[in-house]
Structures are given as structure tokens and as C-alpha cells.
Structure 1
Amino acid sequence: MSPIPRQTPQTLPAHVPLVTEPMGVLASLKAARRNILSIIPEIATRQPMVSGRTGKRWHMVMDPGAIRRMLLEELDNYPKSIVTKNLLRPAIGESLFIAEGAHWRWQRRTAAPVFSHRNVMNLAPIMTAAAEQSAARVAAAGPRAVDMAAEMVRTTFDVIADVTFSGDGMFDVDAVHRGIDAYISEAGKISLFDILGFPDWVPRPGRVMSGGSVAEMKRVADEAVEARRARGSEGVPDLLDLLLDGEDPETKRRMSTPELRDNLLTFIVAGHETTALTLGWSLYLCAFDQAVQDRARAEAQAVLGGRAATGADVARLPYIRQIIDEALRLYPPAGIISRTAQVADTLCGRNIRPGDTVIIPIYALHRNHQLWPEPDAFNPDRFADRKTIERYAYLPFGDGPRICIGASFALQEAVIILATLLSRFRFTPVPGRDPDPVMILTLRPQGGVWLMAEPV
């Protein structure tokens, strides 16, 4: 691993101030409603495991061996937490993200071929076109600050709309996204009932209020799926075509319309927001460190020669990929994942009881002083040799059997877009407008990523 340039506390990139004193239930609720990451104790960046009680017993695990046990060796003993399922099930049903056990396994087997290397490469021209359009919008904005976080949301949304439905006029993808985003903004706020461990059947107010818009969104999606099923595919298969053709190789089962719709809704939201966040944070970090940006630009210009990046270029842009990897370390889109233990277990020598909430605070894991030198500093050279990175110390896409099914798609898209933009513009920060890392359901740059973009 290359030496890390010295970055003082005053010059470190934006980070979340973590808790140094224990918090009670109400204080935890107040903090979590503003920023879930703010309830992580600072000691979690220096210890392998931290335990406590806030209404119910919880454990935060930062030890790679214990995490491997949770995500791989004892997967069925650590299903997604009840809180996570309660938040998301009304919007995306029992899709891949929510399902457990046999129901998850057959869906994963059915959907895995959709994200094969061949299919992802076939979709690369859509990513290239979106990168070109984004560069044109940035250039047209003229010599003024641009919110690159919002621009990346638009760009990745163009990609997911096209790869999901090939621009099919039968489906209002924008309306679907607005519906899910509205649901998450209400229902995604941590409920006091969840923290206190109230039973599932006790209604959560935000989720009750937002149920009508979700039902309408699902109805529209079902109609679009049925229309495509009747019409068939045309040209290069998109995600809907591939899922319609998908079949579990073991049981020969195919997805029903509701199952297919729930997974498509998952891909639409997860497939564009997480990539947009990664790109927004990557551009912020490149503006933060001009030496990194210069090196990345030189690589991109040497490979691209003025054109937009393509799928075939990705392997020839290793430093661009390292920037993305480091952005995912510092600002993982899913900054916390939680599980509910089903049976008694032992992690890091500590007893885990059935019903305990076991949390992997990925934000703290990625900044743990036992695992990363100068963990709050920005240094893409950490990833120059991936063999030096302990596998379960770096989890931007999770790991084990439930590793994100769209990881290769997201990384290809991010490299194509970032390389294209850096080859054409120099990005510099706007004084006094640093983003604030805030996580409700994903880790977003609150306030936007406002940068000046100068053509080069």
C-alpha cells in the first residue's frame, strides 16, 4: 500500500462526528432521525466489537472474522433485521433485497444471469451515452457552480430508465422513482416503535400514511410488465426482458408479475441512487485533492483521447477505479446494515442471544484504525493492490451469498461516467459549501456537491 499523504483534521474530507458519550432511547431516536450514522460510538472505529442496550440488546461488529461468520458461515442465523424489513417491505415486497431462505435463493438463481458479464457489457453503450449527455449539460451550465450530486442522480437515472425499460413509453419510471422516494422519506425515518422493539403488528404512522401512493405505483408497474410480457422484446434485451426470460435452473420456476415488479422496483431505486451517490462523492474527493484529480485526468485522456468512455475502456482505467473504491470506503451508500440473531452464538468471544440486533456499521468498519492506516484520509492508492485489502474489512456491496447482485453493473457505470467527466473538466470546490454526510436510508451528501467545472 502506498504511503498516505498527510491530511490534518482541518484538511480531511467531510466526515460524521461520532458519539463519545452513551445515549438513551430518546436521544438515540432524535439523533437517528437526523443522521443514523451519528448514533455510532467513536470507539467503534478503534475496537473489534461494541455492545449495548437501547430498548433492546445490540452489538456493533467491526471484526472481519466475525463479519465473515455473519455473512457467510452462519448466514441463515443472521437474516436482515426486522427494522430493515419493516421499512422496505411495503415498497419492494419480498424481492431479492428482503427475501430470506429458499424464497431468496430461487430468486437469486433466476436473476443472477441477468447481471452476467456479457449482459452488463451489452448495456455499456447506454452508460456511454448518458456520460456524454452529462458532460454536455455540465459544459452548457457555463462558468458557474453545478450541484454534481443532483447531476449524477439525473445521469444514473437516465441509465437505469433505459436499461430497465429501453425507454418504453408504457412505463413512467420517473413517477415510480418519485413514489418510492416519497415513501422512503416518510417511512424510512427510524420509528421509536422500532427502537423500543414493539411487535410488527403495531402500525407505524409514516408507513400507514404513505401506503396509498405505493399501491398506485405498483399498479402502474404491473400494467407495464404485463404489456411487455404480451408484446415481447425488441432489439438488445433490457432488464425487464432478461427477467421475463429468467428461470430458476433448479426448479424451473419463473417470476410472477408481482415478484418481477418488486425486483424491478428494487433495481430502479438501488441501481441508480447508490451509483449516483458514489459518483457524487468521487467528484467531491477529486475536487478536494487536485493531485489525485490531475493523475486521474491524465489516465482518462490517454485512454479516451477526447471521446466518452466505453465498457471496453474500463479495464484500462485502473486509477479511476481506485478513486471509486476509495469513495465507497469513505462514503459507503449503505453505511449500516443490521441483522437479527435467530439462535445463540458467539462473536469476538461475546455471547449473542436470540433476538439480539447485530449491526455491521460499515461506515465505522471502513474507518477502523485497526484495519486502515489513517482511516479518515483520502488515498486511492490503498486499492492499487487489492490483495492487501482484507476481504471482510471492505464491504461497499456487502459480501457472502447476498453480495449485491448489481455490483459489476454499478462499477462499470461509475468508471465510464467518472472517466468521461474528468477527461473534459477540472472540478474545484465552492468555498463554504462542503457536503454533509447524512444517512437516513443511504449516505447522501446533504446540501449537494457544489463544484466549479472548467473545461480542459
Structure 2
Amino acid sequence: MSDPTLPAHVPFATQPLGLLGSLKAARRNLLEILPELAVRQPMVSGRTGIRWHMVVDSEAIRRMLLENIDNYPKSRATKNILRPAIGDSLFIAEGAHWRWQRRAAAPVFSHRNVMGLAPIMSTAAARSADRLTSSDDRAVNVMEDMVRTTFDVISEVTFSDDGTFDSASVHRAIDAYIAAAGRVSIMDMLGLPDWLPRPGRLMSGQGVKQMKKVADDAIEARRLRGPDGIPDLLDLLLAGKDPETHRQMNTSELRDNLLTFIVAGHETTALTLAWSLYLCAFDQDVQDRARAEVQSVVQGRTATGADVEKLPFVRQIVDEALRLYPPAGILSRTARSADTLCGRDVRPGDTVMIPIYALHRHRMLWEDPDAFRPDRFADRSAIDRYAYLPFGDGPRICIGASFAIQEAVIILATLLARVRFDLVSGRPPEPVMILTLRPDTGVWLKTSPV
């Protein structure tokens, strides 16, 4: 029975699951494959068709993400799932192909550019507050509203809402693709060759083809039209150039990266906001304290980019939500060559995972790890750098991390200033991870004007 004093969480496995048990658990909820040992030991290893290791030791994680990064590319299963939808974009690419794309795209997410997008975030937040305050104290699935809100933001910052791109249909197509193809296949768990087709992924490709055509047409239309007014994300990417090779992205490279930014850029922030609102409803003292901070800063107006640094407690709530419910709950890699982690041999072809969900709840790293305590982030310097990785780390740290944090703080602050959130009895969210960690049946809260 779950502890009512703790927010929703998934218990760790206390018994070996075996191949079929692991497959069933992985297809239902990837978090269920995480062993309880992963929150007590530095590394857990086993074999489920293929050899695997779960690493939660700081030095070993540092080696994987920083010192020996080329030996730990994204896992074959991850690439098999995502490549049909987002190609060899920044999220998938490796080596030199990744490096030049990263150099070309990095200026797009500079502090100046991200701050320039804050008014779009503030406007979308205000619209969300209007919707939520008109609900007449009914139960509302705030997850749905956060998806709508962050999708408004990403659509505007990507294409200036110029009518050339049906971003909603693109989102539906990728969502449908992930639903059909995103679950782990037994062929992946057995380590069968990548060229063998995975049936679910074959049946889900038609919508993706149409989605890519829509994106290609929008990119070509923008090339012909050129920028108009304040540059949006597409303008900045079209102008982007690798400072070392002077290479620019062609249409397919632009499209794959735009689709990555559109999907990842809005869903991860929507998830963070939905979980943050649930946690604020779970602990009314935290909600009241955050609201007081916001009201003292914004004083009746909508939160802006300049307010973000003046709202440290709101930021701490976001950080704690990302700790308890990291959107990427497991990072999966495939070892290219032999290595040693935590004194154990890692062989070429082994799957090496960083179970972020377990890392963020490790008994040796966090006090009362399953509890909601935003104050643990009051002094970020006291937190082990490799104990908290909601955006990864090293050269491949999420390129949009600052964008996501700014958006989450602005929207959360705006909502807390105007809306009170309360739990709905008998409807706790259920954390479920397929590719991202989502509330399986939504986040249902009662909302009312402050």
C-alpha cells in the first residue's frame, strides 16, 4: 500500500523479473524494471537476453557522459525507436555528425535568444490561467492544459505561427508513432540485429512520412519568404552555421532537428509543469509559500524573463519536480568497446543504463528521497553534480535546458499568482515511462481563482 504522506511514485522491483517478466514490465512501464538494488548500490548488472548494467555511481557516470563519451553512444534500441521519426538529428547523431550540428545550433539557444522568447511564454501562461480560473472549481486534467500551453509556446517560437506549418498535426503524428512503436521489443531485449524489422514500427510509418512532408514544405516556404520581424527558431536555424566548417543544415537536417525541438521542447516542459502543479496541490504549505514569493515579485502582472532569477523558490519547485519525475527516466547506451566501471568489466555491445529515476531517489545521495522537499535545492552547490541529471550532462547535455527552465518558471509563477490547485480525492497520477515519464491517466486537480 502506498504511503499517503509521499507523492505518487513507482516501487522498485525486489525480485528478479526474468526475460518475459522484464519484457512485460518494460512494455507496461519501464520504471518497473528498475531493481531496488539500484537505489542502494553503485552499479547493478545482469543479463536479460543481452548483458546490461545500471550505473548510479558519480565517477562512473562522469566517465560515461564526459571522459569516455564516444564509447557510450545512444543505445541501439533508442535509435531504432526514434530514427524513423527524427532521423539523425542532434538527439540521435553521434561523432562528427553530431558535433557539427551542435556547433551550428548552439547559438540558437543563447541566453540572449532565450530571454527574447520570454514574452511568448508569458502570453501563453496568461491564457492558461484564464482557462483554469474559469473551470468553476471542477476537476481539470492540468496535464492536458500544460501540453496545450507549451505547444502554443513552441509553435510560436518555431514558426511565428505564420500559417505554413500545422504543428498540431505534427504533434499528433509523432504521438501516434511513439504509441505504436515506442515500446521495447523482445527483439531489442534479445539483441537481435538492427536490420531485422520490428513489426510495430513498420506499421506506424505512414503518418510520419506525411508529417515530414509538411515540415519540408514549411521550411522551403520560409527559405523563399525569408525572415519577417523578430527571428524565430526556424529563422535562426536557417542562418545557423558551424563556425569550424561553415556548414549549414540542409532541408532534411533542419526538419529532423525542428521535429526534435517541437516534440521534446514542449512535452518535457509540459510534464515538468504538470508534476509541479500536482506537487503544489499535494503540499499546500509549499503552494502558499511559492504564491507569496510570486505575488511579491510580479505584483499583479504576468511573470517575465527578468523575474526568473527573482523567484528562487519557484525554481526550487521545478527542480524538485524534475528530481522526482525526470522526463527522461532512463538514459540507455550501448558500449562500443571494452571498459571498466565500478571495477566491473563492460564488454562491447553491453547495454549500459543510467537510471535517472533511481539515481534521483538513491538512498546514499538523498535524504528522504521519495519526499517532496523543494528546500533541498536552496543550496545547489551542496548537491553532487552527478546525483541530479534531469537534462543529462557533459557535451550532450540537453541543448534546450535553459529554454525549458525559463519557460517552466514563468508559466508556474503566472499560474500560482492567479490559481489555487487542490488534489482530487481518489485520482492520484500514476507515473508511467515508455519513452518519457508521464502521468498515465493525467494530473487531475481542482482549480479556483486566488
What interval of TM-score do these two structures reach, taking the shorter chain for normalisation?
Answer: over 0.9
- How far the C-alpha of 1:213 sits from its partner, in A, is 1.1
| Structure 2 SS opposite 1:254 | coil
Structure 2 distance, partners of 1:322, 1:338, is: 27
1:183-232 alpha-carbon deviations (Å, 9 max, x no partner): 01111011111011110111101110011111111011101000001100
Out of 224, 235, 259, the residue aligned to residue 265 of structure 1 is: 259
1:75 pairs with 2:69: yes
1:388 pairs with 2:363: no
Structure 2 distance, partners of 1:136, 1:241, is: 31
1:343 pairs with 2:337: yes
What is the aligned partner in structure 2 of residue 3 from structure 1? none
1:323 pairs with 2:317: yes
Counterpart amino acid of 2:291?
R
Out of 219, 222, 225, the residue aligned to residue 216 of structure 2 is: 222
- How far the C-alpha of 1:326 sits from its partner, in A, is 0.2
Structure 1 distance, partners of 2:138, 2:300, is: 23
| Structure 2 SS opposite 1:359 | strand
Counterpart amino acid of 1:287?
A
Structure 2 length-normalised TM: 0.99
What is the aligned partner in structure 1 of residue 23 from structure 2? 29
| Structure 1 SS opposite 2:438 | strand
Structure 2 distance, partners of 1:171, 1:388, is: 45
2:165 touches 2:215 (CA, 8 Å); kept in 1? yes
| Structure 2 SS opposite 1:59 | strand
- How far the C-alpha of 1:343 sits from its partner, in A, is 1.0
What is the aligned partner in structure 2 of residue 85 from structure 1? 79
Out of 25, 39, 50, the residue aligned to residue 45 of structure 1 is: 39
Out of 111, 115, 118, the residue aligned to residue 117 of structure 1 is: 111
| Unaligned ranges ≥5, structure 1 | 1-7
Structure 1 distance, partners of 2:261, 2:23, is: 30
What is the aligned partner in structure 2 of residue 139 from structure 1? 133
- How far the C-alpha of 1:117 sits from its partner, in A, is 0.4
- How far the C-alpha of 1:10 sits from its partner, in A, is 3.0
Aligned ranges for residues 47-446 of structure 1 at < 5 Å?
A: 47-446=41-440
Structure 1 distance, partners of 2:352, 2:379, is: 31
Counterpart amino acid of 2:292?
A
RMSD: 0.8
Structure 2 distance, partners of 1:47, 1:288, is: 30
- How far the C-alpha of 1:9 sits from its partner, in A, is 3.1
Structure 1 distance, partners of 2:281, 2:213, is: 43
Structure 2 distance, partners of 1:237, 1:176, is: 22
| Structure 2 SS opposite 1:141 | coil
Structure 1 distance, partners of 2:428, 2:24, is: 24
Q: Percent identity?
A: 74
Counterpart amino acid of 1:213?
G
| Structure 2 SS opposite 1:426 | strand
Structure 1 distance, partners of 2:290, 2:136, is: 23
Counterpart amino acid of 2:43?
M
| Structure 2 SS opposite 1:167 | coil
Structure 2 distance, partners of 1:381, 1:140, is: 32
Structure 1 length-normalised TM: 0.98
- How far the C-alpha of 1:81 sits from its partner, in A, is 0.4
2:147 touches 2:266 (CA, 8 Å); kept in 1? yes
What is the aligned partner in structure 2 of residue 10 from structure 1? 4
| Unaligned ranges ≥5, structure 2 | none
Structure 1 distance, partners of 2:112, 2:277, is: 28
- How far the C-alpha of 1:35 sits from its partner, in A, is 0.2
Structure 1 runs of 4+ with >3 Å offset: none
Structure 2 distance, partners of 1:59, 1:140, is: 49
| Structure 2 SS opposite 1:52 | strand
Counterpart amino acid of 1:424?
R
1:273-331 alpha-carbon deviations (Å, 9 max, x no partner): 00000000000000000111111000001001111101111010000000000000000
1:150-187 alpha-carbon deviations (Å, 9 max, x no partner): 11000000000000000020110001111111101111
| Structure 1 SS opposite 2:381 | helix
Structure 1 distance, partners of 2:133, 2:319, is: 27
- How far the C-alpha of 1:455 sits from its partner, in A, is 1.2
2:133 touches 2:418 (CA, 8 Å); kept in 1? no
2:132 touches 2:448 (CA, 8 Å); kept in 1? no
Of stretches 8-17 and 154-163 in structure 1, the one that deviates more from structure 2 is 8-17
1:449 pairs with 2:443: yes
Structure 2 distance, partners of 1:46, 1:372, is: 11
